Chain A
Amino acid sequence: MDPVFIVEDLGLSLGGTEILKGLSFTVNPGERIAFLGPSGAGKTSLLRVLAGNHQPSSGHVHTLGICLSELKPAGIRRVRSQMGFVHQDLALVPNLRVLQNVLAGRLGRLKALAALRSLLWPNKEQTHRVFELLEELGIGDKLYERTLSLSGGEQQRVALARALYQDPRALLADEPVSAVDPARSRDLIRLMSKVAEDRKLPLLVSLHNPELAREFFPRLVGLRQGSIVFDLPKEQVTDDHLEALYRIPSKASFPADQRA
């Protein structure tokens, strides 16, 4: 099967700052990858490039066989609609119902008016599909609750449900567990791995917790200062690798204003 992502010598600059430089890797269908690295290493930006939210400044990104930099806006919209994305802050609309937040996952595929109608007056089929998804994630009973009344862990599942409702070709998550305790983090990562495996979706997650990454992801990629430091099967990632990845630079060699 063709790879889902082919990244060749990817560089990204935002507002004059170089965020990513010279990244190359390939993601095959069904692969589960954790991106590790200190804050500001470029993990979020990399995921955003893969989801079609940033245009590469140099190099190439092929998504599902299409070259991102050759796409027109409509094509980019289509790519975006096929990338399920779970944001660090979840980015749910707090005072809408869970149902509507999940339905919003498919807004990218609809024209403006059809999109609004699907949210305001969802048909039975759509509502049932959302309910099934929520059931699978263990919060089916929250279908009609207002999203802000849910606990942090439940809201994460709503964000995951929205991404899955997109019927995505890949599932991307940007530090999805940074706001909950270790037990709940583990729970959510296990759930994500399971739904990705069941659907044979590639799962790309940026994480702060190396233990969690080692437990659930066969392939670990270490990022530091916008470059890949290692890209290895989890068995080959040593404590030395991790120690070097997260080491805090001394002030003399690394002025504070350069840390992105």
Chain B
Amino acid sequence: MTQPPKATPRFKRRYALVLLAALGLLAAYGLNLHWKGLLPRGEGFVLWKRFFSAALSPAFNYESTSVPAGTPPFLLVVFRSVLRTLEFAVASMGLALVGGLILGVLSSHSFWDSALGQGRQGTKLRNRLRIFFRTIAALLRSVHELLWAILFLAAIGQTTSAGLLALTLPFTGILAKLFSEMLDEAANEPSAALEGLGCHPGVALLVGRLPIAWPDMAAYGFYRFECALRSSAVLGFFGFQTMGYHLELSYNSLHYREVWTLLYALLFTVWGLERWSGILRRSAVR
């Protein structure tokens, strides 16, 4: 009887898994992690209990009894901070979508392999240009939005544009990377067929490739919008009038019920966005 062919064992993958597990244990050791330490005890536990029991009774009014006259009602402040947070998120995502799309196309293989013709000369230059744009995208996203915020606060002070740029730049880099990959992963045949009937390569990219990648790009864009919303809220900790600003105020005054109102408002906003994007995506697929 003939023997079945032997499968080549995938040792590399196995070793990688063992290595990862070992690294995890090493990190826990390095951090001096004890299981007991993960649960709050003593004074910490009291605080913990106070904070989480406030979750059941979020504030509808200021917890402090001595509010100066003329202060707007608490719920109105919460509502305004939600709006502010949304404004930052929408504006920065709008800019990041445009920037990410342009930078994404410029750092994709599908653009450089087609748009400048298939001639042999210039292959090196095309490759260099693609890597150049990819590097820009990588640099933009390698700095976290909160670090960008610190940079811009130092450079131009606490202005709206500082906050906007801090969110826009890293998101542009992330979107560019994802968009370029989605473009390159889209089926080749339709755009190749369009070039085959004499179509301009740039048009073939826009008509034969972009629409195929579009649903994924839209879905990812919405997910990023959700991230932008959270980051925009956190921007408040740097003094911008988003939800983080009021979270910090309430938290520092130990007004945990106010904190929970703000957290619920954030949760509700993200949930609403998620629902809305879900509806949009379903109608786009149909």
Could you list which residues of chain A lie within 8 angstroms of chain B, going by C-beta atoms?
48, 51, 53, 73, 76-81, 83-85, 87, 89, 91-96, 100, 104-105, 107-109, 111-112, 115-116, 119, 166
Shortest beta-carbon distance, A171 to chain B, in Å?
Answer: 12
**Residue among B190, B197, B202 facing the most chain A CB atoms (10 A cut-off):** B197
Partner of A95, one of B196, B198, B199, B214: B214
Complex contact B206–A116 (CB within 8 A):
yes
The answer to whether A80 and B207 touch (CB under 8 A), given A73-B117, A91-B193, A94-B212, is no
Which residues from chain B contact A108 at a C-beta distance below 8 Å?
194, 197-199
Give the shortest distance, in Å, between A93 (CB) and chain B (any CB). 5
**Interchain CB contact (< 8 A) of B202 among A94, A109, A112:** A112
**In the assembled complex, B211 has its CB within 8 A of some CB on chain A:** yes
B residues near A (Cβ < 8 Å) are 117, 189-190, 192-194, 196-200, 202-204, 206-208, 211-212, 214-215
A119 to B211, CA, bound (A): 12
State in angstroms the CA–CA spacing of A96 and B190 once bound together.
11
A85 to B120, alpha carbons, bound, how many Å? 26
Contact in complex: A107, B211 (CB < 8 Å):
no
The 9 sampled A-B contact pairs (Cβ below 8 Å) are: A53-B196, A80-B198, A81-B198, A87-B193, A93-B207, A93-B208, A95-B215, A107-B197, A116-B206
Determine the chain A residues whose CB is within 8 A of the CB of B193 once the complex forms: 85, 87, 91
- Given A95-B211, A95-B214, do A112 and B190 touch, yes or no (CB 8 Å)? no
Residues of A within 8 A of B189 (CB): 87, 89, 91
CB-CB under 8 A from A84, the residues of chain B are 197
Quick one: which of A53, A73, A91 has the most chain B CB within 10 A?
A: A91
CB distance from B280 to the nearest CB of A (A): 15
How far in angstroms is the closest Cβ of chain A from B92?
28
Q: Which of B198, B202, B206, B214 has most chain A Cβ within 10 Å?
A: B198
